[in-house]
Amino acid sequence: MENINIEELFKKYIEETITDEELSHLYDFFQRKENQAEQDALLISHFLGENSMSSLPDTRARIVKDQAWNGIREQLGITHAPKYKQISWWKGVAAAAGLLLVLSSGFYFYKEFANNRYATSQLASRDIPPGTNRATLIASDGTVYPLNGEKQEIVVDRESIHYKDGDTLSVKESIQRVTLSTPRGGQYRVTLSDGTRVWLNAASSLSYPTVFNGKDRRVILNGEAYFEVAHNASQPFIVHTSNQDVTVLGTGFNINCYKDENNTVTTLVSGSVKLDGREGAASVQLHPGEQAILDKANFDVAVVDVSLYTAWKDGDFRFKATPLAEVLRQVARWYDLKVDYTGVPEDIKVHASIRRDKKLSTVLHALEKIGDIKFEVKERNISVVH
């Protein structure tokens, strides 16, 4: 392979798009001790940002490199160890300095490639499969349609409600309102009558008319959904939640409005949206790459990495400095779990990217590596064992 770009290979490794040949070259790069300086810069840049190497104290930089390197070495089967101090050393530093190093070093470079061989036997013995495509459609006349999980998506048009492959679910005799609802451990997709596509996350519901008539296209969301709205300047699309209204013409965005989360979070991928709070918050307009967090009566707008907030629809958990309790809420919804939060440390922050199609043991094992904690699983109940 000519003109090897290590940064590009490393990115592909993170995103799980790397080929066997490319993985071999990445292995060779990390195997060579003469590449240590470049390895250090690459790891620090990925875990903490482009300018983090110069701003980190030497001890913390060493910790980040040590933990990340050990994760890579274990997964790629590299035989020589870095010439850094042992794990017990950095734990001692953390305790003495009162620092929680999980924010930077705890990511553990957790990107399992092939299997779950690192899952602990305790977790594996009580393993729980991931969520699947599951949902029900409830019509305003009370008719309930359990949806076929293998179909993955329904389509609403002027004549019928059918699966994307054409199989008819219902022939509409009149315009009515329907509700698509996913349980904990379920997800589903729908194409609305105007061509708008919606990805519905676990424990969520979307209420909408079978045909949009009138001056706007209004839907009601509980939980979390990603929207790709069909453009229609004469008929704005409005997403109504318990705390806000989002008005759009044509765009892609994510809304998280679960009742067990403290805030309503709207993340814009493309286009433009206007947000109106229910409790008197001043209206705000978002541009691509921006996120609005509605905390009671105020919107806080910031530029974010939108992929962190839309990864779920593509089958990933992605976390960056995410509080462990928030991570566990996402995991609980997807695996249909009950979590005892009384023992969850408040100061642990998680950096990780894990496929949502993995069994629970794989996800919990990654979190154990990150947080230096242990989970106890009893049926569908999880607690932290320190």
Residues 345 and 275 in one domain: no
Residue 286: pLDDT band (50, 70, 90) is very high
Residue at 112 is within a domain: no
Residues 96 and 196 in one domain: no
The pLDDT value given to residue 106: 31
Average pLDDT, the chain: 79
User: What CATH number does residue 173 fall under?
Assistant: 2.60.120.1440
Residues 351 and 287 in one domain: no
Residues 140 and 215 in one domain: yes
Q: Is the pLDDT of residue 59 over 80?
A: no
Residues 81 and 42 in one domain: yes
Structure tokens at 9: 């290979």
Please give the average per-residue pLDDT across 342-371, as a whole number.
86
Highest-confidence range of 3-17, 30-44, 199-213, 284-298, by mean pLDDT?
199-213
Q: Which domain holds residue 97?
A: 6-103
Output the pTM of the full model. 0.71
Residues 191 and 337 in one domain: no
User: What CATH number does residue 356 fall under?
Assistant: 3.55.50.30
Residues 201 and 264 in one domain: yes
Residues 125 and 137 in one domain: no
How many residues belong to the chain? 386
Domain count, the chain: 3
Residues 163 and 240 in one domain: yes
Please give the average per-residue pLDDT across 221-248, as a whole number.
95
Tell me which of 176 and 173 has the higher pLDDT: 176
